[in-house]
Amino acid sequence: MKAGRDDPLLDAGTEPARIRAFFVDPGWARRGVGSRIMEACEAAARAEGFGTLELVATLPGEPLYKAFGYEVVERFDVALPDDVLLPVALMRKKISP
């Protein structure tokens, strides 16, 4: 999807909520900021009636998501400029709406 383009709304009954990329400034690492963001994302998804969440994690982010109960569904590479490949993991979690 191109930047600036509207995203269609997801159907909470048939699609997982998607947590988009977020990054914590290294100066604020290990202070609970990432956990608070995850808690807010999950609460918002739950409030909208979603039963599943998914995200694409970089390797450094994987431990945080695993700590929140996300499981790796698939591993793949994302192509970046200059023929650089970034290894990532599609991760998913069931929640109670």
> Which residues constitute the domain of residue 36?
17-94
Mean pLDDT across 30-50: 91
In a domain, 32, yes or no: yes
How many domains would you assign to the chain? Answer: 1
pLDDT at position 88 is 97
- CATH code of the domain covering residue 70: 3.40.630.30
pLDDT at position 4 is 57
State the DSSP code for 68: T
In a domain, 10, yes or no: no
CA–CA gap between residue 95 and residue 66 (Å, rounded): 14
Residue burial 69-93, b: 16+ Cβ < 10 Å; e: rest: ebeeeeeeeeeeeeeeeeebbebbb
Q: Is the pTM of this model over 0.75?
A: yes
In a domain, 7, yes or no: no
β 52-58/71-80 pair status: unpaired
In a domain, 3, yes or no: no
